[in-house]
Structure 1
Amino acid sequence: MYTPFSLKGVLLGCSTSATQTEGSPTRNSWYDWAAKPGRMKDRSSPCNANQHWQRWREDNVLIQQLGLQVYRMGLEWSRIEPTPGRFCRKAMNRYREEILDLQKRNVKVLVTLHHFSNPTWFESQGGFLRKDSPQIFLRYVTYVVESIGDIVSDYVTLNEPNTYVTLSYFLAQWPPAKHNPAISIRVMRNLVYCHLASYRRIHRIREERGFSGRTMVGFAEHMRVFSAARPKDRPLASAMDYLFQGLTNAMYTGRLTAPLGVEAPFGDGRFYDYIGINYYTRLWVSGKYIGSKPDSEQTDLGWEVYPEGLSLLMRRRYRHLCAPIWITENGIAARNDKQRCRFIYEHLRQIAISGLPVERYYYWTLMDNFEWAEGETAAFGLIGCDFKTQKRSIRPSAHFYHEIIQNDGITQSMIDRYLK
């Protein structure tokens, strides 16, 4: 049963990442990874992607046509710092030009500083296993904010550090494909340091230079609901929950907890200006089975569609952190575009009825892109992309989303046309 609702006060947009859209290869961990046989589901590579590095003007027009109010975009670290300590002004100016063009189109930009990919030189030297990795990352962050801090006030320091650690250093499914719990803890601890130091540095640079606008810094946390099928499954579900999204508490408060440590390297404090949540699905825990709940509605990737989880997780974070909520990612891999319309409706409805201070919602993603190990097989986009011809095709769900923005919510007329 679909009913109208209001989203007045919530800014709506899309989220993207640099490695997944830009093409025009640079030397980074994901270009290197995709070049190895058997790594990719479809033998594709981020060398192609959406060719956004060249076609950004065309894509910005599409962003404007959809009426997006906010847009989350990533910067490619390896493009900006191609060799250690040497920065590419040409690349930075190119990003600056893209941001200014979006702003002329009345789109507010949120910049992501790290989204899973590392420069090859950094990865080959140990990446975030290096003891001095927080200092190396901070060097890059400082250069970026000094270069665009006058026009960008909103930042995501790290995208899904918990996902990055899990898939790269525990399950060994992403580069550098290490399977070692002890190493996973070391990397997570260094990522916490990266965020804490970057949070302080971004604020300091913008304050000292007198840049206008309210500085908003946080990280994008991948959150999932871990549901126990039976009472005896609760201990495992709780343990998985804590290890996946409990250790990230240190990135909010500055205080590490076991097994990361017990120190507060920058002192106890508040290291967030918003609560950034990436939400897609839940995991059903039943004995040795961990996955989507049997007989549930699922996406093309086999992820359960569970809208109620979004409000559960928003309440959980808000109860402890009491800050504005930004849904920094929420989307569905679906060739069936009707399913995408339903997904958007159901998750936005959770926001509308929550009563929580949700300020922004970023749908993942603008157009079908290079979806990491899934390659070019996962259709998350409001806009389709033929990766051979680079033709963009606006889907009905994009028109639906545009109308939601125009109407500050869902009307009965929209329900009749898009959801029935």
Structure 2
Amino acid sequence: MNMNQKETFFIGASTSAHQVEGNNIYSDCWAMEQMKGSVYNEPSLDAADHYNRFEEDISRMAEAGYQAYRFSIEWARIEPRRGDFQFQEIEHYKNVLECCHKNGLIPIVTMHHFSSPKWLTAMGGWENDMTAELFAGYCSYVMEHVGPLIPYVCTINEANMGIQIAKIMQSMEPSELQIGINTDQAQFMESYMKNLGDVFETEPQKVQPFISMRTPHGDEIVRKAHMAARKAIKKKSPETKVGMTFSLFDYQYEEGGKAAAQREWDEDFRHYLPAVAEDDFIGIQNYTRKIITKDGKTRPAQGKLTMAGYEYYPQALGHVIMRVAQDWKKPVIVTENGIATADDTERVAFIREALDGVKQCIESGINVLGYMHWSLLDNFEWNMGYTQTFGLIAVDRRTQKRTPKPSFSSLGEIARQYKN
């Protein structure tokens, strides 16, 4: 496949700390996994033990021809108690960053990927006005110590996820989310709320994790947190490129559904444009499409479905990049795109079809900096546990042995075409 792409284009894979590192004991997700009546199918425990095995995983990517690695720094490790910053954890992530550079991989760092410190969530989390300042303080501390090693920073992963969850929960309309969560009503049960309050040692209504229904006020806090973080990052490391990532569907529509589809897009993306106006790039995360009916609802997914219940539709990525480019004239990075499947031949085909869409976007003049596949490893898919396999590399849950799938080498072969 020839993309006629400039030399700066990079191909790599993504992970998030909580999903792969293991033993993230100070986070809100860990607390909610362990609690009685949890909505998580199982606890994360050691996850993929990437915290201890990152050198093996990074070197394997480099050997296969990958040029970049997107991963997250875990706030709950850096600041397990408010104001108590752990320098040894900064040293850990410094080692990860240096390992990327040593192996010729561009590190793309996400500062917040869904999980938050337990103490932050207990004090109101992403509905608390103080969160923007607290998040910026954490980002400032990280960048002060390792900023020069980070060329790209994504402040917040899928900033719009809470709004997407709120829409689905409020409408009670069955629909997929681009995240592995249960959308039943367990979180509203009286016993669940009591247990939640007991675990976080506060009023249960006050507990507001990032992955929950977000109010308009909470959405404003997320936008303010991003802008405050960007300012803090640029102050400590002016050369670092800063952006934010979004969960974006390819919204299509039946006759009579155009206006509703436009509203969905505006809520998911366009209303964030003022907050990202000074950013260097936008991160696009896409897995499928949604078709809006004339009554404004989402048509149930049809045709071939993935393990996650999404429609198999790799063409969605190119469509979304084109749609974003209508309003955003700066660079974009595909920070997530992938498929949950037990049949790796589907993954190989999905990647190639999705990258064909990226090629078309590039040829039309859109500045796509890179493509980061989700995910490097089979990992902990949030509420759904270890049941969904998105990884290019299989992980034995008992031994932690890694077994690269054919898709891993297939994507590596594509990446080798664009090595500098």
* TMscore range, shorter length: 0.7 to 0.9
Q: Aligned match of 1:275 in 275, 282, 286?
A: 282
1:7/1:15 CA distance change after superposition, 3 Å: farther
Query: More deviation in 15-24 or 315-324?
Result: 315-324
Alignment of 1:15-414 (within 5 A): 15-40=14-39, 43-167=41-165, 171=169, 173=183, 176=208, 184-207=215-238, 214-231=239-256, 233-253=257-277, 271-286=278-293, 287=295, 290-294=298-302, 296-354=303-361, 355=363, 356-408=366-418
CA distance in 1, matches of 2:71, 2:271: 26
Residue identity in the other structure for 1:6: M
CA distance in 2, matches of 1:363, 1:137: 27
CA shift for structure 1 position 11 = 0.6
Count of residues in Structure 1 that have an aligned counterpart in Structure 2: 379
Q: Judge conservation of contact 1:168–1:177 (CA < 8 Å) in 2.
A: no
1:258 is matched with which residue? none
SS at match of 2:242: strand
CA distance in 1, matches of 2:376, 2:164: 26
SS at match of 1:277: strand
CA distance in 2, matches of 1:162, 1:179: 10
CA distance in 1, matches of 2:347, 2:367: 25
CA distance in 2, matches of 1:8, 1:179: 36
- Spell out, residue by residue over 1:232-260, the C-alpha distance to the aligned partner (whole angstroms, 9 max, x if none): x333333322222232223223xxxxxxx
CA distance in 2, matches of 1:78, 1:224: 30
Residue identity in the other structure for 1:323: K
2:203 is matched with which residue? none
Query: More deviation in 376-385 or 158-167?
Result: 158-167
CA distance in 2, matches of 1:176, 1:365: 27
SS at match of 1:113: strand
CA shift for structure 1 position 80 = 0.2
Residue identity in the other structure for 1:215: T
CA distance in 1, matches of 2:5, 2:262: 36
CA shift for structure 1 position 179 = 11
1:179/1:103 CA distance change after superposition, 3 Å: closer
CA distance in 1, matches of 2:251, 2:384: 23
**TM-score where L is the length of structure 2:** 0.84
CA shift for structure 1 position 52 = 1.0
CA distance in 1, matches of 2:397, 2:36: 20
CA shift for structure 1 position 297 = 2.7
Q: Judge conservation of contact 2:42–2:385 (CA < 8 Å) in 1.
A: yes
CA shift for structure 1 position 8 = 3.3
Q: Judge conservation of contact 1:284–1:290 (CA < 8 Å) in 2.
A: yes
Mark the runs of 5 or more structure 1 residues left unpaired by the alignment.
208-213, 254-270, 410-420
- Deviating runs (4+, > 6 A) in structure 1? 177-181
CA distance in 1, matches of 2:245, 2:336: 8
1:327/1:179 CA distance change after superposition, 3 Å: closer
Q: Judge conservation of contact 2:260–2:296 (CA < 8 Å) in 1.
A: no
1:256 is matched with which residue? none
CA shift for structure 1 position 379 = 0.7
Q: Judge conservation of contact 2:116–2:209 (CA < 8 Å) in 1.
A: no
CA distance in 2, matches of 1:60, 1:278: 22
Mark the runs of 5 or more structure 2 residues left unpaired by the alignment.
171-182, 188-206
* CA RMSD between the two structures: 2.4
CA distance in 1, matches of 2:282, 2:166: 24
